[in-house]
Structure 1
Amino acid sequence: MTTGQHSFPRRHARTQRFTLGAPHAFTVSPDGARVAFLRSGSGTDRSHQLWVLDVDGPNSGAGRERVAADPQALLGGRAEELSAEELARRERSRESGAGIVGYATDAAVELAAFALSGRLFTAELRAGTARELSVPGPVIDPRPSPDGRHVAYVAGGALRVIGAEGDADRALADPEQEPKEGPEQEAERAPGQAPESGLVSYGLAEFIAAEEMGRSRGFWWSPESDRLLVARVDDSPVRRWWIADPAHPDREPAPIAYPAAGTPNADVRLFVLGLDGSRREVVWDRTRYPYLARAHWSAAGAPLLLVQSRDQGSQVYLAVDPDSGTTRMVHADAADAGDWLELRPGVPAWTPSGQLVRIADEGGARVLTVGERPLTGPQLHVCAVLDVADDDVLIAASAGGAAPSAEIGETHVYRVNELGVERVSQEPGVHSAVRSGKVTVLVSAHPEHPGAQARVLSGGRQTALIVSHAELPGITPRVTLTEAGERRIPCAVLLPTGYRDTDGPLPVLLDPYGGPHHARVVAAHNPYLTSQWFADQGFAVLVADGRGTPGRTPAWEKAIRDDLASVVLDDQVDALRSLADAFPFDLSRVAIRGWSFGGYLAGLAVLRRPDVFHAGIVGAPVTDQRLYDTHYTERYLGDPREQPAVYAANSLVTDDGLSGAVEPARPMMIVHGLADDNVVMAHSLRLSSALLAAGRPHEVLPLSGVTHMTPQEQVAENLLLLQVDFLKRSLGLAP
C-alpha cells in the first residue's frame, strides 16, 4: 500500500502504529464454521467493524469474509459519544480505536453483543444482521448468555439483563437500591474521601484489576445461562485524587479513586445472581486474600476463583458452590520468602475431565501444570494458556533460560499433553493463537515482514488467510538481535539505513522499556519502526531487556525485588558497554529515551550515571513510587509503611529533593500528559521541582488533554520531532 506524502511520524500516528486495518479479537465457533473478528476499513480508519469469516458451509463458500455489524450504519453516521466510565475502561485496556472496540458472543458464536455510544447492539452472525436493543445507558461490557437467549450488561453501576429479543429488561443488582451511608460510616471515612453515593458498582473490574491484574471484566455467565457470578466493587475506602485540565480552568477537576501504594484498596465482593431474582454471596477469607484476580466458569466444573494476598506472596484456587456461596480450596501456592506470584492469562481453568490447569513457578522454570503434574519443563517459559481441550492444552511460550541465541525474542504456540510437547508455529517470530475444536487462528509476526498474519488452520492445514488492510510502514528496521555481557542480556541494535562500516562511530540512543510485564526485544518487524526512525536520524539505537523484564525465567523477573532502580540501570549500562566493541557506538555521546517505566529508567540513567549518559528524555515517569498503585508497586517494593527506605531508594525524588543524583548535571526533557490517570502529572511536577531546587537545568513538555497514551495525531507526530531536536541539541549534533 502507498505510504503517501506524509512523514513517518505522521503516518505512525495516523495509523496508530500501523495497527489500523489489521484483523484482531478473534472468536472461533465450536463447530469450526465461523471466525468472528474486528477490523477497520483501511490503515487510517479508526472505526472498527465486526466481521465474520465463513470457514466452510454450503451457502457461503470457504474463506469468504463479510461484515456482521457496521458502526457507521448503526449510528446513522453520527459521531460516537462515550461516557466517562467507558473512556476509563478504554484507558485501562490501552484501546485508542473507535467503532466496535470489543464484543462478546454466546457459546455457539451465533449471537454477538457490543456497545456503541453507550447503546446496546446485537448481531446475528449467521445472518449478518445487527440491531439495537432499547435499554438504559450508557451501556458497558454487554455479554450474551451461553444459550443466546439473554444479554447481561452494566449501566449506571447496575448489572442488568435483557432478553435477546429486547424484552424483559431488568436490574439483577443495583447499588441505588442498597442502604445509603449513615453517620457512623461517614465518621469512619479518611480525610479527603468522598461520600458513599455512586461509589458502588456491579459487574465492573476495579482500577487495579483492569490496570495491573489483567482482569478487565466483572461478571461471568453460568454454562446453563440461568445465573451469573458478579463482582460488587465498593470504591469508598479508596482515596480520591483529582485530575484537572489546566488548559480549561472553567472545567471542574475529575475525581478518580486511586489506590496508591500503602493506602486502602476497593472492597471487592462476589455474588451469584439468578435470573429468578436469587442472590448468594460467595464466601472466602477476604481479609487474608483481598484480591480477586481471576474467575472462570465453564461446563467442566464449578465456578473457579483465584484470590491473592495483598503482598501477592500467597494465593488459593477456590471452587464455588453456586447454590450456597461456599468455597473449597482446590490448590494453594506460596512464593519463596520475599518473592511474589505472577498472574498469567488463561488460567486457572478446568480440563473437560475436571483437572485444574494453572501456570506455576517450579524448579526455576515457569511451567504448565495440569492437576498436580507439570507437563512442561525448563526448556519452555510458559506465557499464557490459549485453549484447553479434551486431549491437549494450547499454550504460548518462549524458550527457557537456556535459550539459544537463535531464538532471541521469539514466542511460539505449542500443543501440550501427557505424551509431550508439539510446536504449532514453525517460522521465527512472535506467535499467538485462538482455537475452538479443530479450527485455530494462528497470528504471527515475523522479523522480515511488516504487521502480523492471521492464518486459519483446520486439522493443522491452512484453509484461509484473513486479510489485513494495515498500511505498509515504508521503513524496514535494520535490526540485529543479540545478547550482551555475562548475563546474556537480550538486545536489539539498529543502525541507520544505508550505514556502512566505514562511516565511523555513531552517537548512541538507548530506547528501552526495561521493566516488568513488557519485553521490547522481540523477533518481529513493527515493534522497531520508531527505533529505526530514530536510527535514521543519525543514531545507533540499542534496545535492551535487562532483569525484571518478562519471558526468560522467574528468577530473571524477580531479581528486582526491593530494587527497581539499580538492577535495571546496571543492565542497561552493561549492555551498552558489552556491545561497544561489536557495534559502532560512540560512548562519548550517549542518550536514553523512554515512556512510563522506560521514562523512569531514563530519569535514573541521567541522574545516577551521568558518567555514561549525556542526555535523557523522560516520558510519563513514575518518579515517586508512593504515588503509584498498590498491586504493582507493593509487588516489587512491599508496603511503604513498612519499608520507607526501600521506596526512597527507588524514587527519583523524595521530600528532601533529588535521591541518588550525582554530578555532572545532564540535559533532561520531561514529557507528561496532563490527563494521565495512571501515572499522574504529579510525578513529573515533583521531579521538576526537585531539579529546580537542586539547580539542575531541564525542560518540561506538558501535553494538554493527553492521557498515558498519545493517540492524537499531531501530538504523537510532533512529540517525535521534538525529541530528535532535543537529542541533537543535547549531544552537540548538527540539527
Structure 2
Amino acid sequence: MTSETPFLRLQARTQRFTLGAPREFRVTPDGSRVLFLRASSGEENRTSLWSLDVGTGVESVLVDAAALTGTDERLSEEERARRERSRERSGGVVGYACDAEVRKATFALSGRLYVVDTLSGELAELATNGSVVDPRLDPTGSHVAYVADRGLRVVDLATGADRALSEPGNEQVAWGLAEFIAAEEMNRARGYWWSPDGTALLVERSDRGPVTRWHIADAAQPDREPTAMAYPAAGTPNAVVSLVLLGLDGSNVPIDWDAERFPYLVEVHWSAGGPPLIAVQSRDQRTIQIRSVDLASGATALRFTRTDPTWVEIIPGAPAWTSDGRLVVVSEQDSSYRLLIEGEPVTGPGLQVRSVLRVTDEVLFTGSEDDPTQIHVYRTSKGETQRLSTAAGVHIGGGDAALTVLSSWSLDYHGPRVEVLRDGAPVAKIDSLVADPGLPLNLSMLTVGSRRLRCALLLPNGYQRGAAKLPVLLDPYGGPHAQRVLRSSSAFLTAQWLADQGFAVLVVDGRGSPGRGPAWDREIAGELADVPLADQVDALQAVAEEYPDVLDTERVAIRGWSFGGFLAALAVLRRPDVFHAAVAGAPVTDWRLYDTHYTERYLGLPDDDPASFTRNSLLADADGLRRPLMLIHGLADDNVFPAHALRLSAALFNAGKSHYFVPLVGATHMPPNGEAGAESLVRQQVDWLLRELNVSGSTATPTEMGAGG
C-alpha cells in the first residue's frame, strides 16, 4: 500500500484486495493446460482470460478484456441481475464456458458473443439476436447457446446461423435463466444444460407471473418510473419453475416430476456417466429428491431421497455421476455431511463436506475437519479420501481429482498462493497479482465457552497489553450459512483497520455457521434472533474474562451488514445492558419482508406461526431503544428492500426514539464501490461510534440517544 493511498480507498479500488487473484479454473482432459480468469493487476477492474502451459509453467493471455471493451461496458437488465445475485463487481470476462476438450471457450462482453480457440488464441465475434447472457458451448464444440431477451438461442459455429430454441411469449416468462430464489439462495446460477453429445438441452422455464410485485423508486430522480420487481416474500408465491428438453431438431419434451410437492429445482446434472439428474426440494425444505430423467418420455425416476425433520441442507455440486456411472451425493449421516458413492460413504464421521467441486472418475471436494476455521480440498482415490491441501488455512480447488488447481489462503501471507497438482504433487504455479494491503494483523484466534465458539480478536498495531483498556467493537455476520472466522488474512483486513482506529475488534461465528455439522446448523431453527445474539454475548463475556486488562465492557459497540445489520440492531434493542451503540447496515427488520427459501427454512410460513415471526423481528422492539443506533440502507437494494430500515425508522420515530438514518442513494445490497463513497461510509461509522462511546480524542460530543431521527 502506498502512503498516498488510504487503506479504505485502496480496499475499494482493489475490490477488497481480490482483483488480480486467479479464479474459474478449467483443465484440459490431457492435463497439459489450465484456463483461468485474472485481472492484469491488483488494481485493474477488468478480468481477462488466461492460459497456463503446465509443462513449461508459462502463462499467456487469451483474451485481453481491456483491448476489447475499453472503459465502457454495457449490460442488459438480465446480466445486471445475474451479477447482483453473484455479488460480481468486476468487468471484462467475468465468466466463460468451454467444450469438453477445452479447445474452445465462449464468453460475453457488453452483450456481445465471442468464441476463442484456446490453442491458437484466434478470437471471433459472432453475430447474435439481442444482448447475450450466459453463453455456453456444447460439449462437442459445434454450437453456442445463449440467453437474450429471456429466450434461449443457439448459434451454429459452422454456418453462423442463429435461431431461437425457445421464446418467452410474455414478459413474465424466462427461458434458460436461474430464477431469483435459485440464484440468491440455492447457489444455482445457471438455467440450462447441454447434453453430452450436443444435440439437446435441458432448459429451465420460469414464470414469475404469480409472484408479488414490489417497487424500487429512485427518490433522487422523481421523474423516473419506479422499477417493479417480482419478489417472493416469505409465505407468498414463488415463480413457477419447470424443465423442458429441447432438441436441436425441434423436439420438445417436458420433464415430469411432482412440482406441486417439490417446487424448488435445486440442481441439474447431465454428463456421459448416466441420464440427466435433477434434485428437487419441497417447499418446507425437509425433503430433497434426486431423480433421473428419461429422455424419450420426460418421466423421472427416484434415485435417492434426503429427509430431515428441520430442513435438508443443499450442498453445491451434488448430485452427479462418476464417469463410470456411479451416483455421487452428499447426505447427513453420523452427525456429519458425508460424501456417498452408490450409497456408500467414502468420507468418515467428523469430516464435514462443504461442496463437490468436480466429478470424473474420482471426486474433488472441499470440507472441514475438527477446526471449522479451516477449509481443505480432498479427492477420492479408489474408495478412500486423500487431503490435497496440507498447510493450515482456507483452500479452494479447481480442475479435477487428477489435475487439481489449489488456491490457498493463510494467516501467514496475503492473497492466494495457487499451485497445480498432478495426482496430489505440485507441478506448476499460477501467479497471484493481488495488491499488498500493507496492513499487518494483530490477531488472536480463540475458541471460547462451552459451545467452543470460534472468535477472532484484533487489537491495534503497536498496542501494549495493559496500557489502557480499549472500547470493544463486535463486527459479526452472525447468521447461518456464512462464516467470518477463517484462517485467512484476507478475512480480517477491515477488522484490523477498525482496530487501528482504537478498538478491540471481536469477530464471532455462532451457531448456524458452516463447518460444524448438521446439529450445529439446526440449532438456529426458529430462533434467528435469540440464538445468534446469545452467542455474541457469550463470546464477548468469555473473551473479556480472558483479556480483562484489554476489553472495556462499559464501552461496547456492534456493527454489521445484512444479517449482521439485523444482529447489530437486535443487540441494542434487546441487550442494552451489554451493547452501548450499534451500526446496522442493510438490516432485515421484519422477516415477513424477506424471501421465501431463506426465511421459511428457519421460521416456516408466517401464517402457520405468526408469533415466531414477531419474536424474531425488530419492529415490536422499537419502543425499547435506549442506546444510539445508526441505520444504513441502499435505496436500490432488491435483496433486503429499503422497506426494512424505513419501517424500523418509522417505528422508532413514532415511539419518540432518536436515531441516525443514512440512506445510500442508488446503492444495492452491495455497499458503495466508489473509492470516496466507500471510504466515507466506513469513516462515518467509526467517527459516530467513537463519539457515542465517548472515546477520548473523538471530535464530537456524545449525545444521550444518538442524533437525527
TM range (shorter): over 0.9
Are the aligned partners of 1:321 and 1:327 in contact in 2 as well (CA < 8 Å)? yes
Are the aligned partners of 1:587 and 1:612 in contact in 2 as well (CA < 8 Å)? yes
Q: Distance in 1 between matches of 2:307 and 2:663?
A: 43
- Correspondences of 1:245-394 after superposition (within 5 Å): 245-336=218-309, 339-390=310-361, 392-394=362-364
Q: Distance in 1 between matches of 2:244 and 2:3?
A: 54
> What is the SS of the residue equivalent to 1:580?
helix
Are the aligned partners of 1:346 and 1:387 in contact in 2 as well (CA < 8 Å)? yes
1:102 maps to which of 95, 108, 111 = 95
Are the aligned partners of 2:24 and 2:398 in contact in 1 as well (CA < 8 Å)? no
Corresponding position: 1:728 with 2:698: no
> What is the SS of the residue equivalent to 1:581?
helix
> What is the SS of the residue equivalent to 1:73?
helix
> What is the SS of the residue equivalent to 1:152?
strand
Q: Deviations over 1:251-275 (max 9, x none)?
A: 1111111000000000001000000
> What is the SS of the residue equivalent to 2:206?
strand
Corresponding position: 1:573 with 2:531: no
Which moved further from structure 2: 492-501 or 606-615? 492-501
Corresponding position: 1:535 with 2:496: no
TM-score of the superposition, structure 2-length normalised? 0.96
Q: Distance in 1 between matches of 2:372 and 2:136?
A: 39
Q: Deviations over 1:149-206 (max 9, x none)?
A: 0000000111100012461210011123xxxxxxxxxxxxxxxxxxxx3110100000
Q: 1:319, CA displacement in angstroms?
A: 0.2
Q: Deviations over 1:277-311 (max 9, x none)?
A: 10000001001101000000000000000000001
- Correspondences of 1:116-155 after superposition (within 5 Å): 116-155=109-148
Corresponding position: 1:613 with 2:613: no
Corresponding position: 1:633 with 2:599: yes
2:62 matched to which residue of 1?
68
Which moved further from structure 2: 433-442 or 267-276? 433-442
1:695 matched to which residue of 2?
656
Q: 1:504, CA displacement in angstroms?
A: 2.3
Corresponding position: 1:14 with 2:19: no
Letter in 2 for 1:377: G
Q: 1:333, CA displacement in angstroms?
A: 1.4
Q: Segments of 4+ in structure 1 off by > 4 A?
A: none
Q: Distance in 2 between matches of 1:436 and 1:348?
A: 16
Are the aligned partners of 2:460 and 2:501 in contact in 1 as well (CA < 8 Å)? yes
Q: Distance in 1 between matches of 2:144 and 2:43?
A: 32
Q: Distance in 1 between matches of 2:360 and 2:189?
A: 24
TM-score of the superposition, structure 1-length normalised? 0.93
Q: Distance in 1 between matches of 2:349 and 2:689?
A: 42
2:621 matched to which residue of 1?
658
1:220 matched to which residue of 2?
193
> What is the SS of the residue equivalent to 1:589?
strand
Q: 1:408, CA displacement in angstroms?
A: 5.1
Q: Deviations over 1:1-54 (max 9, x none)?
A: x53511111111111001111111111111111111111111111111111111
Are the aligned partners of 2:48 and 2:65 in contact in 1 as well (CA < 8 Å)? yes
Corresponding position: 1:559 with 2:523: yes
Q: 1:353, CA displacement in angstroms?
A: 2.6
1:451 matched to which residue of 2?
415
> What is the SS of the residue equivalent to 1:502?
coil
Q: Deviations over 1:559-583 (max 9, x none)?
A: 1111100000000000000111222
Which moved further from structure 2: 134-143 or 433-442? 433-442
Q: CA RMSD in A?
A: 1.3
Q: 1:549, CA displacement in angstroms?
A: 1.2
Corresponding position: 1:717 with 2:687: no
1:167 maps to which of 153, 157, 160 = 160
2:171 matched to which residue of 1?
198
1:93 maps to which of 49, 71, 86 = 86
The 3 A distance-change label for structure 1 pair 166 and 683 is farther
Q: 1:713, CA displacement in angstroms?
A: 2.2
Corresponding position: 1:398 with 2:392: no
1:182 matched to which residue of 2?
none
- Correspondences of 1:429-440 after superposition (within 5 Å): 429-436=393-400, 438-440=402-404
Over the matched positions of the two proteins, sequence identity in percent amounts to 53
Q: Distance in 1 between matches of 2:265 and 2:37?
A: 29
Are the aligned partners of 2:557 and 2:580 in contact in 1 as well (CA < 8 Å)? yes
Q: Deviations over 1:592-612 (max 9, x none)?
A: 000000000001101000000
Q: 1:437, CA displacement in angstroms?
A: 6.2
Which moved further from structure 2: 612-621 or 555-564? 555-564
Letter in 1 for 2:211: V
Q: 1:503, CA displacement in angstroms?
A: 1.3
Q: 1:139, CA displacement in angstroms?
A: 0.7
Q: Deviations over 1:302-339 (max 9, x none)?
A: 00000000010011000001121111000111112xx1
2:52 matched to which residue of 1?
53
Are the aligned partners of 2:358 and 2:401 in contact in 1 as well (CA < 8 Å)? no
Q: Distance in 2 between matches of 1:460 and 1:334?
A: 35
Letter in 2 for 1:25: E
Q: Deviations over 1:601-650 (max 9, x none)?
A: 00110100000000000000010100100010001000011111110111
Task: In structure 1, list runs of 5 or more residues that go unmatched.
Answer: 57-61, 177-196
Task: In structure 2, list runs of 5 or more residues that go unmatched.
Answer: 699-709
> What is the SS of the residue equivalent to 1:302?
coil
Are the aligned partners of 2:279 and 2:288 in contact in 1 as well (CA < 8 Å)? yes
1:679 matched to which residue of 2?
640
The 3 A distance-change label for structure 1 pair 4 and 129 is farther
Are the aligned partners of 1:609 and 1:662 in contact in 2 as well (CA < 8 Å)? no
Letter in 1 for 2:621: L
1:59 matched to which residue of 2?
none
Are the aligned partners of 1:69 and 1:129 in contact in 2 as well (CA < 8 Å)? no
Q: 1:462, CA displacement in angstroms?
A: 1.9
Corresponding position: 1:644 with 2:610: yes
2:31 matched to which residue of 1?
32
Q: Distance in 2 between matches of 1:379 and 1:437?
A: 22
Q: Distance in 2 between matches of 1:646 and 1:509?
A: 29
1:190 matched to which residue of 2?
none
Q: 1:387, CA displacement in angstroms?
A: 2.2
Q: Distance in 2 between matches of 1:393 and 1:72?
A: 36
Query: How many residues get paired?
Result: 694
Are the aligned partners of 2:335 and 2:517 in contact in 1 as well (CA < 8 Å)? yes
Are the aligned partners of 2:380 and 2:401 in contact in 1 as well (CA < 8 Å)? no
> What is the SS of the residue equivalent to 1:658?
helix
Are the aligned partners of 1:29 and 1:436 in contact in 2 as well (CA < 8 Å)? no
Are the aligned partners of 1:271 and 1:280 in contact in 2 as well (CA < 8 Å)? yes
